[in-house]
Amino acid sequence: MILTVLAPVTLASTNTTAIATASSGWLHTEGRWIKNGQGMIVGLYGVNTYVRLQNEWLKFVSAKSYGFDTIRLGFWKYDIEHPTSDDPNVDKSGVDAIDRAVSWSTSLGLKVILDQHLWGPYGGNEYCWPAPGEFLSNTVLQQQWLDMWRLLVDRYKNNPTVVGIDIMNEPYMMGRPESCPASKEVSVSNPWSVWEGIAKNAVADLKTHNPNLLFIVEGWANDHPWNDIAFLKQGNVVLSNHIYHHFAKDWDDWGKAYASGNLVTGKQLLAKWIDDNYMVYVNQGIPFWVGETGFLTSDPYWQQQMADELKLFDDRNLSYSAYVHAVSAWNEPFDLIDHSTSSYNLTIVGRMFASHLLALQHLLRPTRRTTTYSIFSVGFESGDFTAWNGGTFGTVSVVSNPVHSGAKAAKATYSGSASGWQESLASSYADLYFRSYIYVPALPSVGKSSIIGIVYNAAWNEFLQSMIYTDANGSHWILVCPNGWQSDWAPAEVSANTWYSVEIRRFVGDATHGQAELWVNGSLLVDSTQAITGNSQNLQAGSIAAGDANFIVYGDDFVADSSYIPQSIPQSVADTMSNVDTLDRGLVGKRSWTDSGSVTDVISKLRNVPTSVSDVLSHSGFVSVQVCWAENFNRHALAHGFACEATECSNSVE
């Protein structure tokens, strides 16, 4: 079958091919958006990695725990065709290796995009990417490539974990001496047009094998824009491109401006570049995904450029995939994992990506969250504790004041022994979030603490605890973990007579790579890799342990779920404005609240961040957040602009 535009093959019309609908489990496109089966907008916030290198469970666990929701899984075409290897450090077992990666991703709730990143050995050279220069004119090579994709598409056509395929990585690099030394250079005229024709025919063919996939196509860099707009507007086609400050500093005006320290001009030029090269498609209703972006700490002003770039993407609702995760065999300088350690510890760039994505996670997954939770959701409107199947212990009661919502809340008093209520969930969960609203009329004395919530495993012998502790600097939120106390130690961050949303995440990895998180009022205060074992199943709350006699804790609106639980509707805008804190893990956050169309308040608060990243985060915010209020909605919308209707929100304040 000939795939070049010089002699195109006759294929089934894509107009007769069914596309995934809102009732299916697959993703699909609607205009510029990618949506899930419930019609919610989905962002692909991914990380690049290679199935050949460190193809192990821990790599995928760490990617999940650091906030990535998508794996752009690069592979060698050669490995699919030659699935053997005598090198124990290389998982060159073809589709079996991809099967393992997909299985791990499925168990963790990660999406996978298959990426034909390298061709493999060619002409005696070990690496050739993405294809030899002869590819554009050699129909045999084209047929081999299409047959490979047919095999993979057929293999995963019933597995919606594999949400898409990136049919060829950076096609404009084919045949270059630096990317494929043994091949001939591209010799056809207008190679960008030839590639576009090959890609279009391949997508048409592969859609007949699985129309539910996202088909990601890359053009001929930025010099030659994709010509066929109608093709890009058909269902489930996504355009992609890559951006790197490291390379742009040598040839793009925006990159040169950053490199010279002209940061204001650099950001202005970068914004224009993104608009000219990415948004020009988006504004025509075409989905666009930044398949790679990465940063080197050796580049001047890299941290400001990274902060600006991610914020510009957020402002434009562009999702992206970081480059690259866990490729120590290559000693890749862009790797987000620190090669000097034996564990999956992040570099400073990796920590900045993780901080940004974890802060965005509850805004973007999903964009519209209902008030029904799949695991557990309890208040006290019944006037008793019957909804808690584990009953109560100690001194507890249901009260009518104070309450967070409704007419009732619970009260626990520590009188020398633990007091509270508990629940044993019907099933255990590898990833569990437990949110409660907590109110204390008085804070612990200096040097004293109070445990207010616990998530246990099924055996009740391993746990995470939320706690308030007071020292000379004030009262702090603490997460008690298997290896000790974790906190951001911000001074005087807890006040009496105030409702707080307190949320624990307990994520089970392996013996050393679980994840412990503490969220307060939407801010991620603790994010710690821990030895967490045994799925979560048992919950407790109240005044469970206290250093002060008769320590009182009020609780309301308890929820458990398998993904982040947003804050519930506030009693009033004023209540929320008095308590709300930054959503972006200690980065500057500015919000506009509107009530009947008028701005009631704008806040900008800065929380201390971990010392390891404070030097690079102190001067810039990553997240542009719109917080919108609408009286006819029984919720507040915490999301980027695409999560709010135009009539619900005012413009965000920068």
Query: Looking at residue 361, what is its pLDDT?
Result: 64
- For 579, the 3-state DSSP assignment is helix
pLDDT at residue 370 above 80? no
Query: Looking at residue 567, what is its pLDDT?
Result: 65
pLDDT at residue 591 above 60? no
| Token duo for residue 161 | 């974990």
Distances (CA, A) of 227 to 11, 105, 183, 195, 492: 21, 35, 27, 11, 58
Query: Looking at residue 562, what is its pLDDT?
Result: 84
pLDDT in tens, 401-420: 999 999 999 999 998 899 99
User: Domain boundaries in the chain?
Assistant: 14-110+141-162+191-337, 376-565, 579-643
Query: Looking at residue 359, what is its pLDDT?
Result: 72
Query: Looking at residue 328, what is its pLDDT?
Result: 83
* Selected residue with higher pLDDT from 309 and 624: 309
pLDDT in tens, 49-81: 999 888 899 899 889 988 899 999 999 999 998
Region 636-640: what's the mean pLDDT?
A: 25
pLDDT in tens, 191-227: 999 999 999 999 999 999 999 999 999 999 888 999 9
pTM of the model: 0.61
pLDDT at residue 135 above 90? yes
d(CA 467, CA 469): 6
pLDDT in tens, 387-406: 999 999 999 999 999 999 99
- For 198, the 3-state DSSP assignment is helix
d(CA 516, CA 527): 6
Q: Can 14-110+141-162+191-337 and 376-565 be said to share one CATH topology? A: no
Cβ proximity of 11 and 197 under 8 Å: no
Query: Looking at residue 373, what is its pLDDT?
Result: 56
Query: Looking at residue 89, what is its pLDDT?
Result: 57
Pick from 63, 203, 31, 53: nearest CA to 118:
53
pLDDT at residue 348 above 60? yes
Whether omega for the bond prior to residue 366 falls within 30 degrees of 0, making it cis, is yes
Query: Looking at residue 649, what is its pLDDT?
Result: 29
The correct answer on CATH 3.40.640.10 for the domain covering 376-565 is no
Between the ranges 87-91, 363-367, 476-480, 631-635, where is the mean pLDDT highest? 476-480
Q: Where are the alpha helices (DSSP H) in 511-635?
A: 573-579, 611-617
Architecture of the CATH domain 14-110+141-162+191-337: Alpha-Beta Barrel (3.20)
Give me the half-sphere count of Cα atoms (radius 13 Å) on the Cβ side of residue 409. Answer: 22
